[in-house]
Chains A and B, each alone.
Chain A
Amino acid sequence: MSDNNLNEAQKRVGVYVCHCGGNISDVVDIKKIVDEISKYHSVVVARDYVFMCSSNGQSLIEDDIKNMGINRIVVAACMPSLHELTFRNAIQRAGLNPYLYEHINIREQVSWVHKDNPQGATSKAILLIKAGVEKVLMQDPLNAIRVNAEHRVLIIGGGISGMRAAVSSADNGIEVVIVEKEKKLGGKLNRDGYVYPSDEKAVDIVNKFSKKILSNPLIKVYTESEIINIGGYVGNFDIKIKKTDGDIDNIKAGSIIVATGFDHYMPYDGEYGYKKSDYVLRLKEFIELLSKSDGLEFVFKGKKINSIGFIHCVGSRQNEGIDAPQADGKVNEYCSRVCCTSGIYTMNKLKEKFPDVNVYDVYADIRTYGMESESLYEIASKHDVIFFRRPLDERPQITFEGDKIKITTTDILSFNERLEMEVDMLVLLTGMKPSEIDDISGYLKLSKSTNRFLQEVHPKLRPVEMNINGVFAAGTSLSPMDITESLQSAQTAAMKSAILLSNPDIPLDPFVAVVDEERCTGCGRCVEECLYSGAVTITEKTIDGNIKKVAYVNPAMCKGCGACVAVCSERAIDLNGSRLSQFEAMIDAIVKE
């Protein structure tokens, strides 16, 4: 591109400083920044705007490119991961190479962290922007790397989310491979009993989907199978699947949807009396028991059940110092979202079958947030379920007296009285915990949230995308959700994956390592240092008639981490978009002041 040959005088920098509403301008002195930066060398124009990412803000940049011949852009705003793409698109629309742009973070790295020192913050912002100008002046135009994409999606997990994502993807014309470790599709819904909000049998929901899946020629199902490796990159993932018979299938996929679901929280022995008595059950166990119990009386293991206690938030909404930690030393601070509604729904089912059983419910907050769920709560009250509200930082005590289970709790609803009640059976509303997917998240290098569920890139901007390009997550692998919510998230993951695969080739950022073959001695230190196998290799090349060993970078696999750059003694390997020389120029600009 001709831009490569521009001399210094022809490089015209435009600097665009964002107020971010007030997030930045409340702390740093924007006017001062603009005044000072306009005087800096090579800067032709410096402007500010309330929201640079808005249409108006973007037009400022586009207009300057078109009308003032600006050919290097610096945007000083929020963190680049939020809106880098927005600005790159604007620059491209105006006809400039989108990589001739540098993004300086003056929000997270300046205004938010130096609230108490506005002057210092302003000077820091100015320095960072000057460094950005130096960097962009040495930036070459780059072109996105394009890789061919397999028109196939791998779905890991065949629960309700995985099944929904499979059907939506196949309806979109994409080949699907589902890998499920159990014998049957359906996940946690392969159980007896009914579910809210549709009051259907859980297995009926599974059957609705199984029918669609098994009759669809585009969907291939592996049950009782295990993924033993995933390699490759977006558009070209290589997956090894170990089947029931021990054989291994290799498949290729363009994208991956992780729908590995949740695990039921397992109380430790003695937690609220669990395992100390046959009459302390988890909600899931109780639902199955109830669906099998018929007749006039509720009898379990020879005992007639006249009263049942329910305890909310078992394994959820835990506090350090009050609740015993998990194996990894952490408590589950999060709310599991579904247990209040599912518990109350089950109490109603119980009351419909055995109206004479007395039901006592001990909770902290009743979270029946769904549109029909509030009425379930009301029905429970009409069924004479008696509710006791405990303080947030107290837990009910469980003791055993003969064949009775005694619950002791403080009840806010009766003005903080200490109450004791004896019941024949106790049901623990156990929540969700993330399923054990260290193998999968290890192959794919996925991030986890602080609650140990998978971490989306951004809860609002990119809620089903993972930190690895081409990998999406759906359903309760992300956080607790009910069935409808899992379906929503699965369809959104299917949509994003379909958009990705709708192009025959996928554009990737060109920020990858490049080798200067003249300088490279083929020593291979970069290969040793690289964390991503296959990203850099040593090959033989004919240069000027001589066969020479040199490093070769596979741009689709290189993550642009720069580990190789740090170890090369010959300075023969460098990063596109972040060259060593660019950093040197930035540092020079900073120390000069």
Chain B
Amino acid sequence: MKEINIDVAVIGSGIAGLEASLDVADAGYKVALIEKSPSIGGRMISLSKVFPTLDCASCITTPKMAAVSHHPFINMMTYTEVREIKKNDDGFDLYAIKKPRYINEGECISCKKCEEVCPVYIEDDFEHELSPKKAISIPFTNAVPQLPVLDMNKCIRCGACARICPKDCIDYLQKAEEIHIKAHSVIISTGYDITPMNAKKEYNAISIPNVISPLQMERLLAPHGPYGKVIRPSDGKIPESIAYVQCAGSRDKSIGVPYCSRVCCMYAIKQAMLLSGSLPLADITIYYMDIRAFGKGYEEFYSEARAMGINFVKAKVARITADEKGSPVLRIEHQEEASKPKEIKHDLVVLSQGMIPAVRDFLGLDLEINEYGFVSSRDKTLNPSQTNIDGVFVCGVARGPKDIPDTIADAGSAAVSAVNYIKSIKGKSL
């Protein structure tokens, strides 16, 4: 088994993990950044533009990803899953599995020739199933590292990739590699999933193709998105009327997510603004309970959206059905007018889903989580990054829903806590 000795193991490489790793490494400590996906970058790298500044998400994330991959103190371990974490007297033992990409990573020159010739198309999880990719492919344009992954379950063993590869990299028999990481401290930055699209049965999101997730809309709006423009999935039509259903996956006890997810008001407003830029003729309506624009510059952003003509309607959406053309029909309970529930048709509907923790089981680590599965702070008014276990810190959405600015502030907090913790234990052992 390969053995690695480092100071801090950072688990999860979204913007929280990237920032925390860079801070710890810049302070002179060795980091292993462990990511289960084939590329670092987390959710943020798949977003279009980010509120409230409307910077493109890639422009902010890619340089951080590059900085991580070049940092002499950061050991970037992608496509690697932690199987077990043990606390011992002088730190932590992490047992991880590096999954096989079925290529020789040291030799691959990222020429994409394998990807070009592969005859098999599979669903592209990065594009949230909006478009296909090849059974062997580099995960996305600006992935780090630029290494293809071969999907052994879908591959038909035709051998085309192996024949074309100029470096003879393809290795169908590659095995997973076991790795033992010894660390003094652990930072948890495992991030989030969005509330499942079928959480609210009344919205029929699974059976109506034109009811989409906000992450799909991010891809439709992204400069390098699947179609290069915003079209609706069922028939490729350009939507003339688009609606957002707020709190679709939050503030709702019946689906087990009673808390507010903090970001969905703002991303809906952002997407609405971007849509009105790319589809100037489209009507955009946001059905909401409260608009929670509480961060720096957010209220101003909300005012701007109202001035741009985006419709904000205080109403609850009780149910979604589809008409014969596949257009979603929303049953609306207005708060503003004393009218009976109405049925309103839109071409495309986005469910503003909330955030739930991506990981709830910390594999042998007796980490305290709250009733919704987020990692708890030992003392929120002393050090929010400190978990119940000495030496284990948490940041980003793993600790609770947060937008990017709050996530970045949280990452620095976890980093300084980990660095100072190591200083304190090293001080004692001297």
Contacts and interface: CB of A to CB of B under 8 A. Distances in A.
A588 interface: no
A403 B403 CA distance: 46
Contacts of A334: 296-300
Contacts of B303: 319, 333
Contacts of A168: 416-417, 420
Contacts of B70: 55, 89, 93
Kindly name the residue among A389, A459, A464 whose own CB sees the greatest number of chain B CB atoms within 10 A: A459
Contact of A335 (B62, B145, B299): B299
A502 to B, nearest CB: 6
A5 interface: no
Interface of B: 23, 26-28, 50, 52-53, 55-56, 58-60, 62-63, 65-67, 69-70, 110, 141-142, 144-146, 222-224, 251, 258-260, 262, 290-300, 303, 314, 335-338, 370, 372, 374, 377, 379-385, 400-401, 404-406, 408-413, 415-417, 419-420, 423-424
Interface stretch (A17-25, A125-133, A286-294): A17-25
A220 B155 CA distance: 66
Nearest to A339: B294
Given A173-B423, A375-B259, 10 more contacts: A23-B56, A54-B66, A370-B400, A412-B314, A451-B296, A460-B405, A463-B405, A463-B409, A492-B416, A498-B416
A265 interface: no
30 contacts: A21-B59, A51-B142, A54-B141, A55-B69, A83-B59, A86-B63, A164-B383, A198-B379, A198-B380, A200-B381, A209-B382, A334-B297, A334-B298, A334-B300, A367-B290, A369-B294, A371-B370, A371-B401, A373-B260, A459-B296, A460-B405, A464-B409, A487-B381, A489-B409, A489-B413, A491-B416, A492-B408, A492-B413, A495-B23, A495-B416
Nearest to B15: A460
B67 A86 contact: yes
A528 interface: no
A451 B301 CA distance: 13
Interface in A355-378: 365-375, 378
Given A171-B424, A499-B26, A333 B260 contact: no
Given A55-B62, A365-B291, A412-B314, A333 B142 contact: no
Contact of B338 (A82, A373, A415, A485): A415
A461 interface: yes
Contacts of A337: 294-295
A416 B336 contact: yes
Interface of A: 20-23, 26, 50-51, 53-56, 58, 78, 82-83, 86, 89, 93, 164, 168, 171-173, 195, 197-198, 200, 205, 208-209, 317, 319, 333-335, 337, 365-375, 378, 389, 412-413, 415-416, 449-451, 453, 459-461, 463-464, 478-480, 483-485, 487-489, 491-496, 498-499, 502
A21 B222 contact: yes
Given A86-B67, A335-B299, A460 B380 contact: no
B296 A83 contact: no
Given A83-B63, A335-B298, A459-B297, A483 B381 contact: yes
Contacts of B259: 370-372, 374-375
B28 A502 contact: yes
Contacts of A450: 300
Contacts of B27: 495, 498-499, 502
Contacts of B314: 389, 412
A23 B223 CA distance: 7
A335 B303 CA distance: 12
Nearest to A189: B381
Contacts of A495: 23, 27, 412-413, 415-416, 419
A205 B379 CA distance: 10
Contacts of A171: 420, 423-424
B66 A55 contact: yes
A555 B329 CA distance: 67
A498 B419 contact: yes
Contact of A367 (B110, B292, B297, B406): B292
A82 B59 contact: yes
A374 B379 CA distance: 20
A214 to B, nearest CB: 16
B142 A54 contact: yes
A22 B63 contact: no
B142 A56 contact: yes
Nearest to B417: A491
A55 B66 CA distance: 5
Contact of B66 (A86, A378, A485, A498): A86
B224 A485 contact: no
B341 to A, nearest CB: 14
B28 to A, nearest CB: 6
A51 B382 contact: no
A488 B384 contact: yes
B412 A51 contact: no
Nearest to A500: B26
A479 B296 contact: yes
B55 A460 contact: yes
Contacts of B404: 460
B406 A485 contact: yes
Contacts of B417: 168, 491
A285 to B, nearest CB: 23
B299 A172 contact: no
A83 B64 CA distance: 10
A197 B420 contact: no
Contacts of A449: 296-297
A171 B27 CA distance: 13
Contact of A488 (B142, B299, B336, B410): B410
A374 B260 contact: yes
A50 B191 CA distance: 27
A196 B322 CA distance: 44
Contacts of B299: 317, 333-335
A29 B295 CA distance: 38
Nearest to B20: A495
B59 A371 contact: no
Contacts of A50: 141-142, 224
A374 to B, nearest CB: 5
Contacts of B372: 371
A491 B412 contact: yes
Nearest to A365: B290
Contact of B59 (A51, A368, A375): A51
Contacts of B50: 460
A167 to B, nearest CB: 9
Kindly name the residue among B62, B298, B401, B415 whose own CB sees the greatest number of chain A CB atoms within 10 A: B62
Contact of B300 (A21, A197, A333, A415): A333
Given A20-B56, A50-B142, A83-B63, A484 B380 contact: yes
B76 to A, nearest CB: 11
A197 B300 CA distance: 27
A53 B62 contact: yes
Contacts of B110: 56
B58 A21 contact: yes
B58 A488 contact: no
Contacts of A459: 52-53, 296-297, 405
Instruction: Give the 9 A-B residue pairs with the shortest CB-CB distance, closest first.
Output: A492-B412, A21-B223, A22-B223, A415-B338, A491-B413, A495-B416, A479-B296, A365-B290, A171-B420
Contacts of B63: 53-54, 82-83, 86
A208 B401 CA distance: 27
A483 to B, nearest CB: 5
B141 A51 contact: yes
A77 B34 CA distance: 31
Contacts of A54: 58, 62-63, 65-66, 141-142, 144
